[in-house]
Amino acid sequence: MAQIVDIAVIGAGNRGCKYLSLLAQMPCHVRIAAVVEPNPRRAAKASAILVEAGLPDAPVFASCSEMMQNISPQAAVIATPEQLHHKQAMELLDKGVNILIEKPVAVTEEQCREIAEKAARNGLVAGVCHVLRYHPYFAKLCSLATDGSLGEVVSVSHRISVGIDRACHTFVRGPWGKPALTSPMLLSKCCHDMDIITAIVQSRAAVVRSVGGRCFFRSENRPAAAADRCVSCPVERNCSFSAVDLYRRRREWTAGFDPAPGDTLESEVNRQLAEGEYGRCVFACDNEAVDRQVVIAGFENGAVASLTMNLFTAEDNRDTHICLTGGEIRGNGEIIEAVPLRGDKAIYDYSDIASKPYHAGADNAVLEDFIEAVRNPEHKMLTNIAESIESHRICILADRNLDEV
Ligand SMILES: NC(=O)c1ccc[n+]([C@@H]2O[C@H](COP(=O)([O-])OP(=O)(O)OC[C@H]3O[C@@H](n4cnc5c(N)ncnc54)[C@H](O)[C@@H]3O)[C@@H](O)[C@H]2O)c1
């Protein structure tokens, strides 16, 4: 029988609870050894997940250090805000714990390298939650580009349409609107897109340039009649960025709102609208994140790539166009067309699964890959840290070389 891995989940927020729910369905493979979460409401949410799955409650600690003073799990999933990743990863690796880290791995290239080097030195697994690599649509895109059937990749154009609801929630009103406290938009949102590009191109970047900036969500663009809060704004009904519409009328993007014990989601929505960060006018958020950015990169093997990230889209989606010496590959996020320069095109349709929960099974797949790597030293994770951080290096270089417009 395969060895059962003792695993801790560090950070029981949006991502951590997703991983916890999936791990709770794998009792033949893992035992939940602990949850590390300083926020009592989140800790209660984590305990409820275990109870619902019929598992014994796991000890909850307020910090990694406290956990390590009490127990030594074999593995841990780090799903905390990225500013904490480096410290927590180094601490866990020092104590012999294998780690799976949410993206971005860390906020500087040096921190990423230090984690990778320590994992290698200590003979431990360090995997990265670049979940798109495990998504069936993206896995097919990468394999079609690299299997040689259409020749060699010469260029990639990739677009990330963030979607205005996600954008306003996360990158304007939410914590990622302040890159100095979290990480730059490109690194936080697009490092796994850049990872897909490097998987397609199969080479290191030699040249990286970027243009972009924050053009629209600025105080000078605020309509004259607008109030500081959507709930008291006279022009709210005609505003595409209304928090009242998003959270109260449509009840979307509320998963991270934690009602106080005994309280309802509705009252938490009302509290956010009245006094929370998510009730603010998008033009009164003092945010600093870019709202569109283009990166161009030239690779050591001669391929070129462009990545365009944009907040101003109705839907969130990704699309990709790859040119190869023997044909083209076009992907619209659901359907991939492989078009040889001569001959018939092949069509691969993922529209029925592309937007399924848990990244269409990819969240589960990254966990399985990690668990297998912890059990079997011969097994190399698809998203091992040594290779995954090239994407971070490119994003960090792009921001360093950003021409602001
Ligand atoms: N792979 C993806 O598709 C994807 C999607 C969203 C976010 N992310 C990344 O996942 C990470 C977590 O994001 P999130 O959306 O889950 O954030 P979140 O804020 O919902 O969750 C983070 C949790 O960490 C907890 N925490 C804070 N300090 C802690 C500490 N010292 N020890 C333990 N826990 C602590 C917080 O209380 C919170 O519950 C980020 O790095 C983010 O960029 C990845």
Atom from ligand 1 closest to the CA of residue 82: 41
Q: Which residues of the chain have pLDDT under 50?
A: none
The strand pair at 317-324 and 153-161 is best described as: antiparallel
User: Which residue, judged by its Cα, is nearest atom 40 of ligand 1?
Assistant: 81
User: Which residue, judged by its Cα, is nearest atom 31 of ligand 1?
Assistant: 63
Quick check: CB of 63 below 6 Å from ligand 1?
yes
CA of 129 to the centre of ligand 1 (A): 12
Note whether 260 and 41 are within 8 A (CB): yes
Strand order in the sheet with 75-78: 60-61, 30-36, 5-10, 75-78, 98-101, 126-128
Predicted pLDDT at 355: 85
Task: Count CB neighbours of 359 within 10 A.
Answer: 22
Residue 156, token pair as written in the block:
């990639």
Atom from ligand 1 closest to the CA of residue 12: 39
Quick check: CB of 27 below 6 Å from ligand 1?
no
Atom from ligand 1 closest to the CA of residue 15: 16
Quick check: CB of 103 below 6 Å from ligand 1?
yes
CA of 83 to the centre of ligand 1 (A): 10
Predicted pLDDT at 1: 66
Residues contacting residue 278 through CB under 8 Å, at least 6 positions apart: 169, 173, 174, 243, 247, 257, 272
373: nearest Cα among 167, 188, 124, 159: 124
Predicted pLDDT at 339: 98
What is the dihedral sign for C-alpha 172, 173, 179, 184?
negative
CA of 241 to the centre of ligand 1 (A): 24
What is the best residue among 49, 63, 80 to mutate for testing ligand 1's pocket, by most ligand atoms within 8 Å of CB?
A: 80
The fourth-level CATH superfamily of domain 133-217+287-354+385-404 is: Dihydrodipicolinate Reductase; domain 2 (3.30.360.10)
Quick check: CB of 323 below 6 Å from ligand 1?
no
CA of 99 to the centre of ligand 1 (A): 15
- Tell me yes or no: is domain 5-130 CATH 3.40.50.1820: no
Tens-place pLDDT, residues 53-90: 999 989 999 999 999 999 999 999 999 999 999 999 99
Quick check: CB of 13 below 6 Å from ligand 1?
yes
- What are the extents of the domains in the chain? 5-130, 133-217+287-354+385-404, 220-284
Tens-place pLDDT, residues 123-145: 999 999 999 999 999 999 999 99
Q: What are phi and psi of 342, to 5 degrees?
A: -130, 130
Distance of CA 190 to the CA centre of its chain: 8
Task: Provide the residue type at 258 as one letter.
Answer: D
Quick check: CB of 363 below 6 Å from ligand 1?
no
CA of 226 to the centre of ligand 1 (A): 32
Say how many residues make up the chain: 405
Helical segments of 11-63, H only: 14-23, 40-52
Atom from ligand 1 closest to the CA of residue 183: 43
Quick check: CB of 37 below 6 Å from ligand 1?
yes
**DSSP letters spanning 26-79:** -TTTEEEEEEE-S-HHHHHHHHHHHHHTTPPPPPEESSHHHHHHH---SEEEE-
CA of 203 to the centre of ligand 1 (A): 30
Predicted pLDDT at 261: 87
Quick check: CB of 15 below 6 Å from ligand 1?
yes
- pTM beyond 0.85: the answer is yes
User: Which residue, judged by its Cα, is nearest atom 25 of ligand 1?
Assistant: 11
Quick check: CB of 100 below 6 Å from ligand 1?
no
Tens-place pLDDT, residues 324-361: 999 999 999 999 999 999 999 999 999 999 989 999 99
What is the best residue among 49, 91, 102, 364 to mutate for testing ligand 1's pocket, by most ligand atoms within 8 Å of CB?
A: 102
